[in-house]
Amino acid sequence: MKLRSLVAAAALALGGAAFAQTTVLKIGYATAPDSHYGVGSKVFCDEVEKGTQGRYKCQYFPNSALGGEREQIEAIQLGTQDLVNTSTGPVGNFVPEVKIVDIPFLFRDYDHARKVMDGPIGQDLLAKFPSRGIIALAWTENGFRHMTNSKRDIVEPSDAKGLKMRTMENKVHMDGYRAFGILPTPMAFPELFGALQQGTVDGQENPIPVILSAKFSQVQKHLSLTGHVYSPALLLLSPKVWNKLSDADKKVFLEAAKKGGAAQRVKVNEDENNGIAQLEQQGMKVVRNVDKPAFQAALKTPYEGYAKEFGAANIKKIQDVQ
C-alpha cells in the first residue's frame, strides 16, 4: 500500500512539473477573431509558442470579453491580464506622450504613418511605457478612421454639425471633432453597437476593418471616407510577465510582436481594399468625395492647442517624415 502511495505521489509530482512548464497567457482585444486584431494576435502567439518551445501559450479573449480597452490596459498594469492588442485611443490616459499620434490629419497615408511608427519617433514612444507600469512590445495597427452615421451623407464639416457621435475617451480626438461641429460622446466600444441600434448616438468613427468586423452596416446607413485620424495600435504586456522572462525569451516576445504587427497591417490593407465594396453590398451608402481640405481648415484652433500641448516642432517632425 505504501509503495502504491509513493508511486501515485511521484506521478502527481511529475504531472505537476509537466503542467508548470507551460504558462498560459491571457490576451484580449476588442474585435472578432477573424479581424485585424485577431490576425495580429494569433501570429504573435504562434511565434511565442514556437520560439519558447511551447513553454508559453495564449488563451484568446476577443470581442471585448475582458472589458473595454481602457479596462484591459488597467488590468495589464495590475497584472490581472497578461496581454492586450489595443488601439491608442485610451492609451494617452496612461502614457500622455502617445496622444501626439492621435492628432487629426497628422499623417498623409499608410506609408507615412508606418514609417513614423517604425522609426525613431515611434520607438522613442514605446520606451515611455515601462515607467508607467506597462511593457509596449510593438506597434500594431487599427487604420485610418472614417465616419458613419444613421442620418445623412457627410461631405464637409457642416454636414457633421449637431451629430451625436461616439468617440473614444481621447481628448485629442474630441477637441478635433468639436471643431467639425460634432457632439462627441465618449463611450466604451462594447457598448457601441447597442447605442447605435437604440439611437442613443447618431454615429461613430472607426477604421474600415472595425466597421466590417463589428457589423456596423446593420445599424448605420452612411459611411464617409474622411480618413480624419490614423489610429495606430499596440501590443501591451504586463510587467508581471515580462519581469519573469529570461533575456532569450524577451527577444522571442519582441520579435513575435513585430511579426504580429506586420500581419495585422497586411490584414488592414486587405480590409481597406475589399471592405468598402462589402459594406456597400451590405446596404451602406459610401461617400468617397469628402472635402478633406475643409475638414483640415476647421482644425485651425485645435492645432494651436496641440502645438502648445505637444510642441509645434514635435508635430512638424512627424509631418516631415518622408
Average of per-residue pLDDT across 122-143: 98
Whether pLDDT at 153 is above 60: yes
C-alpha cell at 280: 456597400
pLDDT tens, residue by residue, 229-248 = 999 999 999 999 999 999 99
Residue 261 lies inside a defined structural domain of this protein = yes
DSSP-assigned states of every residue in 27-73: EE-SS-TTSHHHHHHHHHHHHHHHHTTTSEEEEEE-TTTT--HHHHH
Q: How many domains does one find in the chain? A: 1
pLDDT tens, residue by residue, 256-292 = 999 999 999 999 999 999 999 999 999 999 999 999 9
DSSP-assigned states of every residue in 271-313: HHHHHHHHHHHTT-EEE----HHHHHHTTHHHHHHHHHHH-HH
Whether pLDDT at 91 is above 80: yes
Between CA 248 and CA 233 the distance in angstroms is 25
Residue 13 lies inside a defined structural domain of this protein = no
Average of per-residue pLDDT across 287-310: 96
Residue 15 lies inside a defined structural domain of this protein = no
Residue 6 lies inside a defined structural domain of this protein = no
Between CA 312 and CA 164 the distance in angstroms is 31
Lowest mean pLDDT among 3-17, 153-167, 261-275: 3-17
Residue 124 lies inside a defined structural domain of this protein = yes
**pLDDT for the residue 169:** 83
Whether pLDDT at 6 is above 60: no
Q: What is the CATH number of the domain that holds 152?
A: 3.40.190.170
Residue 93 lies inside a defined structural domain of this protein = yes
Percentage with pLDDT > 90 across the chain: 92
pLDDT tens, residue by residue, 31-86 = 999 999 999 999 999 999 999 999 999 999 999 999 999 999 999 999 999 999 99
Between CA 42 and CA 48 the distance in angstroms is 10
* Domain membership of residue 141 as a residue range: 21-319
Mean pLDDT of the chain: 93
Contacts by residues 47-54 (CB-CB < 8 Å, ≥ 24 positions apart): 47/252, 47/255, 47/256, 47/259, 47/260, 48/252, 48/253, 48/256, 51/249, 51/252, 51/255, 51/256, 52/249, 52/252, 54/21, 54/22
Average of per-residue pLDDT across 294-299: 96
**pLDDT for the residue 168:** 87
Residue 1 lies inside a defined structural domain of this protein = no
**pLDDT for the residue 1:** 45
Residue 53 lies inside a defined structural domain of this protein = yes
Calculated CA dihedral for residues 218, 222, 225, 229, nearest 10 degrees: -70
